[in-house]
Structures are given as structure tokens and as C-alpha cells.
Amino acid sequence: MMEDGYKIDGRYEIRKPIGEGGMANVYLARDLILDRDVAIKILRLDLQNDPDTIRRFQREELASTELVHPNIVEVYDVGEDSGMQYIVMEYIKGTDLKRYIARNFPIAYPQVIKMMLAILAAVGEAHAHGIIHRDLKPQNILVDETGQVKITDFGIAVALSENSITQTNSMLGSVHYLSPEQARGSIATKRSDIYSLGIILYEMLTSKVPFEGETAVSIALKHFQNQIPSVREFDHNIPQSLENVVLKATAKVPVERYADVSEMAADLKTSLNADRATEAKFKPEIDQEETKVITPISQLDDRLPKDDDAKTYTPKHQTEEKKPVDNSATKAALQQQKQKRRTPLLLVLLAVVILVLLGGGVYAYQEMMSTQVPNVVGLTQTQARKKLAAKNLQLGKTTRQTDQKITNGKVIRSTPKGQVKRNSRVNLVISQGKAKVRVVDYTGQSYSAAAKELRKKGFRVKQTVTASTATAKGVVMTQNVTAGNHVVPEKTTVRLTVSAGQGAFGLSNLINWSQASAQEYASSMGLDLTLKTAFSDSVRSGAVMVQKPVAGKYAQPGDQLIVTISRGQKPANDISFTEKVTVPYDKSTGSSNQVVIYIGDDAHDIGTVYQQSVMTKTTTFKLPFTLKPEASGQYRIVRDGTTINENNNVTK
């Protein structure tokens, strides 16, 4: 066991053990670089010098990196530290399905189906990549705190399949879910995984496995001799349509099972539908001879006379002679008879062991002749070469091209894919990073058009405004990125210097100026002044509290300047409301009308301009009033020097 605090490769700090397996131990660790919890699987120390075990462990590593799916535990990193082989994986905070069933049983049927569909989706992803799990069981299915399921240990079953199931009782956990063909020693197929999924579904519905036994061999024999017990006998509320999913998935003959996990998922999805309530029980069409039950030795022994009964036991051929039976002769005969009856069953068990070993040999031979091309997308060329070499593959041709997602120097894709002969060459396409764009010359163009084009290409754009005696207002004068350069838009900010126009000037800071001073400044600079009022707890009544544009911004004669004058603190008992007044536009006076508005209330003097502005169409103005209870206000609207609207009795 690893000590808490030990750092693997100086990066992964061991926190505590969280699991043990036949080949490796699993620890909770902290990734000190990315500051996150991870699960790290380390090959057991007593197996570190076994080249076959290392090869099998590396096979799991390679098989795991092939798969990216929300219901498959993600592999982050693989490596070796001081001779220790390790795999760094996503840490799932929760429990495995075995414990989940024990803690939460009975599980509602819709929840069982939901979880099984997620498991089927993950297995379907593996099968699509040509990967067969071979060791599906609840212990290899994790359930996080939100109830999401994730499958782990893809590839570890490949190593386990190379060992006879008679080797050790450590296989007991796996053999409960083992398909009949695997028990015979045949090569596992996708339908072998489907059988295991059927057993898992059985356990989720009943909280137990269908077959128990003291040894792995005894359980394996039951998988191809005995029929799966009925889940409806355990729980009569389970619909026949749902039990049929279990029965079809666990058919003894692989061809009787679902063709693939998508077919099983489609059947499972509708298993609770009302239109399937009267569905008949699933029965396999093929009745194989090997499914007949072989009587266990223990039951054969029960049928034979015991030693205590031997005194009165008389062989059939001696009945007529009525002669006494010699006790020692009877015992010898019984022992011989027992031995004869044991011999056929022992031969069957021996045949099973031989078939398993032969199956492992066939599988090992096939593994020797071909190999699976690993997923090297996102790795550097050096990392990819190392990963290919671990699978007895060679690096072929490498080409480079741009890619918007893959970082410069990392693999975009590889060819060929799937199963290939060992020592084959694998070609790589390496990323040159994101595509670069040639920057054009934007000087002399309007800022709005230039900024729009740059943003469309993916650039960030910033503007700097400055006065100019030669360049018109809003036209680009300079740019920070030289025209003709090739750059990555997403990584580049283009700053454009824009002319404020001929005669432009920076606005003064009018805050705390009196209203009269602000009006005089606007008049002297040729600005169109709009006055507004508002209450303020910090700016004295009659002084400027807000200006727009703010001080320092460039303006030209004719530009609009909006100034808000403080009305002081709002009186406690005053009533505030807004009066809407519509001022019609007079076309006869030219292109615009000059409007001046006067307000009289607790905060305004009717003799002082409240607001003046230029309008080019009929406009509705909102006039704010603050009055004491029972009091009234007044307003006057002057358009181009003529009073056109006046009200001396404004009330709420």
C-alpha cells in the first residue's frame, strides 16, 4: 500500500486508498498542478516485475483512452514512476452499483430502467470502438452523488480473460456475471457483454445474483446448465415485458440474445408501457443439449447408502439366496460404485478447465496477430509515438495542418483506425494551431465599418479618439497591428485611433458648476445643451451633478451635451409625479425646432430654463414635478421663440 502524502511524478499526492483489485490498487489523490481530486490506479508492487502483467495493465491504459462518454470514467493521464505503472482517472465521489443496490433496494422500476439505459449507452460507445468489456459487473459501475452512472475498468477484463477461472477465487466476483460461452473458454463477443448486462438488470430488480456457489467453477457451470430464475417469482409486480428483457439478454445461446445494446435499450425503454401488459413470456427457440442439469456430487452422495446402512444392504443379485452379506465386501463395493459415479462428472469438470485454457490460448494467439490502434488525439508526437510503440505499432507519415480546437503540436487524427496487424505504421496529422488571418489596412475607413469587419473575423476591437485638423470625424487614423501581418484573430486585439473631427475639443468637467455656468459654457463652445434635474443628497441644489458625454471626451460644435442639475434633497412630505407633454413638430421653420421648457414647482423656478433641446419630429417630454400636498405647479413650452403650451394648474 502507498503511504498518504507520497507524490507520484511530483504531481499526484496520495490521500487514501479507495479500492483494491486483482492487479492494481486504487487511491484518492490530489493533482497538485490542476488542483483537483483524481483516482489513481497503481499496479500492485508484487506484480511490478512481471512483464506479462505490465503488458496487461498497459492494455487497460490504452483501451481506456479510446473512450470518451459521459457514462464512462475518463482517463486523464498514464505513466510510470520509479518502476510503478499508474493510470490517473476521473474521481467519482459516490459508490459502486453493488453497494448502491444494497443500500437503496428496492429501486423503483423507472429508476432501474433509467440507470440501465445509461449503462447501455456507455457499453454501446465501447462496442462502437470495437472494445468489449468482458467483465461487466456492478463493482465496475460507479454511481456518483447525483445518481449518474459511469463504467470503469475497460481493458482490465482483457487481462483477466487470459487466466483460467479456476486459477483463484478472486474471480468469484466476476464469474457471477460471466456468459456461458466465456465459461466454456470461448472468445467473448458483444453478446457476451449483453449477457452480463442482463445479469446486472436481474440484480437491480432482485438485489441478488441468479447463481451462487462456493467456487468459481461451480458458478460457471450453472451459467450454462441452469435457467435464469424468474424475477417475477421474486416480485410479482414486475411486468412480464420487463422480465422478458432479462430473459432475452441472458439466453444461453448468444444468437438468441439481443443483436446489440441499442436493441436491448429500445426494448427496455418500452418495457413499462401499457400496451405490453399482456406480453407472453420470452422462450428461446434453440434448445441446446448442454443446458441439461448435471447432478452435483453432493446430491449423488445423498442417494448412496451411508456406512451405517451398509449392514442391511443386500445387492440385487443376492436377494434370492438370502445369504448374509460380508460387511467389508459391501463397503468396498459401495466405494467402487461411488468412484464410478464420480468419474463422469470429474471428466466434465476437467473438460471445462481444458476448454477455458484453450480459449485463452486462442484469444492470446489472436491478440498476438493483431492490435487495436490507440486513440492519440490531443497528444504530442512524442507521446503518440510512445503510445503506439506500447501497442507494437510504428509511427508512419506525419503531416501538419491548422485546427481551430487542437493546440499547436498536438495530434488532430490518425490513420488507420480499429484493429490492424502488429508492426503496422500509423500516420498522424499534427496541428499547427488556429488558422491565421491577414490584417488589412483600415486607415481612411470609417471606424464603424472597420470595427464591424474585424469583429466578424473574430478580432477584439478597441477605439482611441483624438483630435485632428486633417481627418474627418469617425475616420480611422492609425492601427496598432501592421497591415499585412498574419495573426490569430481570437488572440489579437486591434486598437484603432479614430479622429474626433476638425475643431474637436475635450469637454471640461462641469460637475458642481452652477446651471448658469453650464449654459454659458455650452453656448460658448457651440454645443446643443439639454438640461435635466434630479434629487441629490450630495450635490447642492442648482449645481451640475451629471454630464454626458463625460469630461475628457471629444466633442464638436453642434454636438449634444446633457447636463443634470441637482434639486437638492427630496422634501419629506412632497409629492413627486411626472406630467407628459407632447410638442408638435413645425415643418415650416426649416429642418429643426428649438424647444425651451420652463417648470415651476418646489424644486424649479418658472423663470429659469428647465430644458432646451432641438427636435426634428413631434416629441413627448416627461416633466418631473415635486409639490407640497394641496399645492399646484406650472410649465411653459416655447418653440422657436413662441409659447405654444402653458399650464398654470398642474396637480397629480
Distance in angstroms (rounded) separating the CA atoms of residues 266 and 101: 24
- List the Cα angle 347/351/355 in 5-degree steps: 175
Mean pLDDT of the chain: 82
pLDDT at 541 over 70: yes
What is the per-residue pLDDT for 325? 45
pLDDT at 524 over 50: yes
Catalytic residues: 135
pLDDT at 361 over 70: no
* Percentage of the chain exceeding pLDDT 90: 42
190-206 helix and 261-269 helix, angle to the nearest 10 degrees: 30
Q: Which neighbouring-strand residues pair with 514?
A: 543
Distance in angstroms (rounded) separating the CA atoms of residues 227 and 241: 18
What is the per-residue pLDDT for 446? 93
Distance in angstroms (rounded) separating the CA atoms of residues 342 and 363: 32
pLDDT at 52 over 80: no
What is the per-residue pLDDT for 319? 41
In this structure, are residues 456 and 426 in contact, taking their beta carbons and an 8 Å threshold?
no
Length of the chain: 652
- List the Cα angle 273/278/279 in 5-degree steps: 80
DSSP assigned state of 398? E
pLDDT in tens, 84-94: 888 888 999 99
For every residue of 205-218, DSSP letters joined together read HHSS-S---SSHHH
The C-alpha cell of 210 is what? 441468479
DSSP assigned state of 311? G
DSSP assigned state of 514? B
Q: Which residue has the higher pLDDT, 561 or 3?
A: 561
pLDDT at 533 over 60: yes
pLDDT at 545 over 70: yes
Q: Is 155 in a helix, a strand, or coil?
A: coil
DSSP assigned state of 404? S
Looking at residue 278, its amino acid is T
Q: Which neighbouring-strand residues pair with 40?
A: 27, 88
In this structure, are residues 333 and 327 in contact, taking their beta carbons and an 8 Å threshold?
no
pLDDT at 25 over 80: yes
Distance in angstroms (rounded) separating the CA atoms of residues 363 and 390: 19
What is the per-residue pLDDT for 318? 41
The C-alpha cell of 636 is what? 411653459
pLDDT at 535 over 60: yes
In this structure, are residues 523 and 491 in contact, taking their beta carbons and an 8 Å threshold?
no
What is the per-residue pLDDT for 131? 83
Q: Which neighbouring-strand residues pair with 627?
A: 575
Q: Is 431 in a helix, a strand, or coil?
A: strand
Residues in contact with 641: Cβ distance below 8 Å, sequence separation at least 6, in sequence order? 594
Confidence bin at 53 (pLDDT 50/70/90): low
In this structure, are residues 24 and 40 in contact, taking their beta carbons and an 8 Å threshold?
no
* Pairing status of strand 149-151 against strand 94-96: unpaired
Q: Which neighbouring-strand residues pair with 633?
A: 650
- List the Cα angle 270/275/279 in 5-degree steps: 85
Burial category of 253 from C-beta neighbours within 10 Å (exposed 0-12, middle 13-18, buried 19 and up)? middle
Task: Provide the phi-psi class of 423: left if phi over 0, else alpha when psi is between -120 and 50, else beta.
Answer: left
Distance in angstroms (rounded) separating the CA atoms of residues 104 and 94: 13
Distance in angstroms (rounded) separating the CA atoms of residues 389 and 383: 10
Q: What H or E segment, with its residue span, contains residue 249?
A: helix 240-249
Burial category of 590 from C-beta neighbours within 10 Å (exposed 0-12, middle 13-18, buried 19 and up)? exposed
pLDDT in tens, 298-349: 343 443 334 333 333 334 344 444 444 455 555 555 566 555 555 566 666 6
What is the per-residue pLDDT for 295? 40
* Pairing status of strand 7-8 against strand 12-20: antiparallel
pLDDT in tens, 95-112: 999 999 999 999 999 999
In this structure, are residues 42 and 2 in contact, taking their beta carbons and an 8 Å threshold?
yes
Residues in contact with 420: Cβ distance below 8 Å, sequence separation at least 6, in sequence order? 370, 371, 373, 393, 426
Q: Which neighbouring-strand residues pair with 7?
A: 13
What is the per-residue pLDDT for 439? 92
Give the residue among 72, 104, 79, 100 at the shortest CA–CA distance from 9.
79
pLDDT in tens, 498-509: 998 878 888 999
pLDDT at 428 over 80: yes
Rg (CA), the chain: 43
* Pairing status of strand 141-144 against strand 94-96: antiparallel
Q: Phi and psi dihedrals of 426, rounded to 5?
A: -115, 125
